[in-house]
Amino acid sequence: MSYAPATAAPAGAMPEVEVLFARQPILDARGRLAGYELLYRGDGADGPHAATSRVAASALSELGLRAATGGAPAYLNVTPEFLLAMDPLPFGPEGVVLELTADRSPDPALVDRLARLRAGGYVLALDGFSGQPAADPLLPHVAIAKVDVREVGHARLRPLVDQIRALELRPAATRVDGHHDHDQCEAAGFELFQGDFLCRPREVLGREVPAASLGALRLAAGVAAPEISIDELERAIALDPGLSLRLLRFVNSAAFALRHEIKSIRQALTLLGPRTVRQWAMLLLLAGVDEQRGPQLVTALARGRTCEAIASRLGADDPDAYFFTGMLSVVDALLDVPMEQALAGLPLSEEVTAALLRRAGGKGRALAMAEACERGAWDEAALPTLDAGQLAVLHVEALTWADATASGLS
């Protein structure tokens, strides 16, 4: 899963009000990004209504909901109290889906508010729908019904989807943990999918890593080696003419805003520095492993950047290696093979391998912390020297950078 905070703060600074954000991608039936659900919590002092208000205010004043999701639709959890108190809402309907839980019967004032929101162009979603009668008054005003597949159970999925479609609503499956769950949800007729399956491999018996992908991974691992010299790095990149061309095109794109065109890898190494060139080379190599896996690539970028930021904040002497460890943590999902098979034969250090396979060592701990940030489990990941709020700031900066970088690639 990949979550992101919806506010930004300068490096080393904290927002005035501590509201922590995360985001989880929502995919359509073709595996394309359909939006991000924003998750958040406040300090708990003022209850969920205040937390929701802060989300709206922070997202609007600091970064914007669209920026918080890299331009994808933002699924925003709201409470009845928030909707009744905030009229009008502090953001328009474009690119926003308002999610309400289906766990209690609404009062007439809320039903009337939903009718007016729908008439104003807002898209509404009902979260936790399982056919419960308490949700009936809400159904005429929502466009999406989200079903918790773990709570409902596979046997009830198809009848529930049929009921949702009969209501002319769009069925969305949540807590889709693995590809088997995804396949069952797809067969039942769901159109949107949300859950951990995104960054898990679809393990196919007897599947081999394609030769082209294996070559790209070996080159990526070689480029990531901390002891590689500038001459060796230049030669390694030059071994792949396609990579050389893509790298030069990328560094000459608007993303870098360079004054002069870079015409050789050596010139790029001189002007941008080996560290930057190594990171972009690895990014392009991983992107080439499976060009259809855009959401996974954003996750890889964010994990790498978060691991690097954690390493720098804690004073580790090799933050680059932390970045590459985070980037490599999705290769099993990109290749649809177990991580052990994906890493077999790659020129990686024992420390990086242990981090990827067992979350062991300093790099493994940083990777586990980055993954906890993706789930919104900041307290679980916090350290005495790096608290939950600081982690949230690091992670929002990583997600903002990852969105911009992935956009630059396209």
In the predicted model, is pLDDT for residue 126 greater than 90?
yes
- pLDDT score, position 53: 61
Homologous superfamily in CATH for domain 20-199:
EAL domain (3.20.20.450)
| Reported CATH class of domain 211-409 | mainly alpha
- pLDDT score, position 3: 34
Can you read off the two tokens belonging to residue 139? 């159904």
Can you read off the two tokens belonging to residue 102? 């289906």
Nearest to 342 by CA among 332, 350, 355: 332
- pLDDT score, position 212: 52
pLDDT: is 123 or 324 the higher one?
123
Taking every pair of Cα atoms in the chain, the longest distance, rounded to a whole number of angstroms, is 72
In the predicted model, is pLDDT for residue 236 greater than 70?
yes
Number of Cβ within a 10 Å radius of residue 57: 16
The mean-pLDDT minimum among 88-97, 242-251, 378-387 falls in 242-251
Can you read off the two tokens belonging to residue 194? 């949300």
The mean-pLDDT minimum among 18-32, 101-115, 156-170, 319-333 falls in 18-32
Q: Is 261 exposed, middle or buried (0-12, 13-18, 19+ CB in 10 A)?
A: exposed
The mean-pLDDT minimum among 39-48, 72-81, 179-188, 204-213 falls in 204-213
**H or E element in which residue 242 lies:** helix 241-251
SS3 277: helix
| Domain spans, the chain | 20-199, 211-409
The pLDDT tens digits of the residues spanning 275-303 come to 888 887 877 777 766 555 678 888 988 99
Nearest to 284 by CA among 312, 248, 310: 248
Nearest to 118 by CA among 107, 127, 110: 110
Can you read off the two tokens belonging to residue 327? 């980037």
8 A C-beta contact, residue 300 and residue 329: yes
What would the mean pLDDT of 295-314 be, rounded to a whole number? Answer: 92
In the predicted model, is pLDDT for residue 4 greater than 70?
no
